[in-house]
Amino acid sequence: MKNYLDGGEAIVEAFRRLDIDYVMASPGSEWGSVWEAFARQDADKADGPTYLSCAHETLAVNLAMGYSVMTGRMQAVMLHTGVGLLQGSMGIDAANRQGVPMVVVSGESLTYSEQEGFEPGPQWQGLLSVVGGPANLVKGITKWSQAVSSPFTLHEQLIRAGEMAQRSPAGPVYMSVPIETMLHDWTPPQNPRTVPKPVLPVPPAAEIERVADLLVASRNPAIVTESMGRDPEGYAATVELAELLAIPVSESGWSDFTNFPKDHALYQGIGNPDYLHDADIVLTLRSRAPWSPPGNRPAGATIVNIDEAPFRSHMVHQNLQADIFLEGDAVSTLQALIAAVRAKGVDDAAVADRQARWSKGHDALVARKQGQVDEALAKDTISPIGLCATLGDVLPDNTIYIDETITSRRPIIEHIDFKGPLSFFSVASGGLGQGLGLALGAKLAMKDRPVVSVIGDGSFMYNPVTQSLALSEHKDIPIMIVVFNNAGYSAMRKEHHAYYPDGVAAASNASVGHDITDVDYAELGKPFGFYGRRVEALADLPGVLKEAYAATQEGRTAIVNVILDEGAPATR
């Protein structure tokens, strides 16, 4: 019986030393040595990461991403050579855009059955070889992409890759590991080091003092934030600075986290509020696109950008218009800025005046939204606003919402009452088909909190639905899936008509790009014993949502197919 350590053990040991919790896998035949290392880990009852087989590459990547976003802990993903890498590439690209650290590995063969005594399988020559190697396939969507150079460098190269992934700007890294390297014997290092956590840089103290002076002297400061709520500490620091100086806070239209309490008197909503053009200083906190159009900066304000990596290399056009960059760990920077402002002292009278002014602005925002809710709840049918308001009323305050919608995105952000940090996440990518994996990853990380996937019918159709539901059942990861069903690809029809407002299609409110297969999504969970209901009447909605929530508390995923009144399909 072969019992010596080889490259598979080198890989698993690298994951242990990187403190990885899960290896999310949709693997192929090249990974026998890693499976043997996991078998050895189980037999020895040794500590190490949990191997989680996902049956789909995009699902594996999104699981890792959802888990990492909720915990702040990097995970590993194991795929099948170039073909699996391509299948998972949309999720890898999303992690790159989102700045989520991740170690992705896949295999390859170097000998193609020509090595005497070793047969990797004829598929490697006939089907699976990649000219230039698999690493070339993801160079543009990873932070670093490389083939392992030898069995003697494998272990440390993987550790180095994981360390790089976590350094600023964080992002996914990829390594291709040949079968021949994995099967080669390996000797563990005699004096293995403890892999240190990354220490993120902060801006020079003089620059922080400079911005603190501007804030203390400001009469009309403002904050625009997009992703500050990714860290609970960032959420708290944003609240603390806003309260210290009575600064109004708005969220960018591309917000991917909840960044500030919606019921706070200083919260002024999302988008481009008019008052920004009266501001004398605007802090943009982790905002890759703080306003739209990109060049529409507040003309009279000093723009201060606070971000780890303000210039996103994945964006073709980015027009931040900043006058000052506080580049470094955004949370530490904000905390240092708060300390500097406190040390200088604040004008209490000016703060009180701003507090009163922005409280009125917040009250007006609340009244406007409440009017929209009242109108929606007066209907018999279900509108996106009515659905969002009902979700907030029915579900617990600690619910986490994972958004993958297009036309319902704004109602979701405005009218679901998210509570606290990490209560909302929407991936910063244009690639649909990731929402279910992200929700399952979030639930895997936050087992004690309800997780709801709010997802459009078009987005739902792009997801690996069967694999996601199977994983939910087999690994006991119950989530609620709420389908915002507007009976088609409404975003596509909207853009079509915007380009041709007087066109033939617009005249009949039609578009061939809008059509979608009409499926009762609630029925898809039946083979797994899940709860499923289709609901069309607003009066029935609260009861159905309560039943769905109760099902998740019993350990069953629930699918609620909500027929919206904007283009609903015919009743079955």
Q: Encode pLDDT of 57-87 as tens digits.
A: 999 999 999 999 999 999 999 999 999 999 9
Amino acid found at 371: G
Give the model's pLDDT for residue 568.
Answer: 43
Using a 10 angstrom Cβ sphere, with 0-12 exposed, 13-18 middle and 19 or more buried, the burial of residue 417 is: middle
How far are the Cα atoms of 98, 258, 352, 387 from residue 412, in angstroms, in the given order? 20, 11, 32, 9
pLDDT, residue 104, reads 98
Confidence of residue 2 (pLDDT cuts 50, 70, 90): low
* Residue 211 confidence (pLDDT): 98
pLDDT at 1 over 60: no
> Distance between CA atoms of 321 and 503, rounded to whole angstroms?
37
Q: What is the pLDDT of residue 567?
A: 52
**């700007």: which residue's tokens?**
169
pLDDT given for residue 499 in this prediction: 81
Instruction: Kindly tell me the sign of the dihedral angle through the C-alpha atoms of 482, 57, 141, 202.
Output: positive
Tens of pLDDT, residues 327-336: 999 999 999 9
| Whether pLDDT at 17 is above 80 | yes
What percentage of the chain carries pLDDT values higher than 70? 97
Per cent of the chain over pLDDT 90 is: 81
**Spatial distance between the Cα atoms of 479 and 476, rounded to a whole number of angstroms:** 10
Q: What is the pLDDT of residue 3?
A: 59
- Check residue 505 and give its pLDDT: 79
Q: Does the pLDDT at position 277 exceed 50?
A: yes
pLDDT in tens, 168-204: 999 999 999 999 999 999 999 998 989 999 988 899 9
**For residue 474, what pLDDT band results from cuts at 50, 70 and 90?**
very high
The candidate with the shortest Cα–Cα distance to 384, out of 286, 443, 473, 456, is 456
pLDDT digits (tens, 9 = 90+) for 97-145: 999 999 999 999 999 888 998 888 888 888 989 999 999 999 999 999 9
- All residues at 6 or more sequence positions from 343 whose CB lies less than 8 Å from its CB, including other chains: 212
Are the beta carbons of 403 and 412 closer than 8 angstroms?
A: yes
Q: How confident is the model over 368-396, as a mean pLDDT?
A: 97
Q: What confidence tens digit (pLDDT) does each residue in 440-459 have?
A: 999 999 999 999 999 999 99
pLDDT tens-digit map of 508-526: 787 776 677 778 999 999 9
pTM: 0.94
Query: What pLDDT score does 516 carry?
Result: 75
Residue range 368-385: mean pLDDT, rounded: 97
Residue 296 has pLDDT above 60, yes or no: yes
Mean pLDDT of the chain: 94
490 has a pLDDT exceeding 90: no
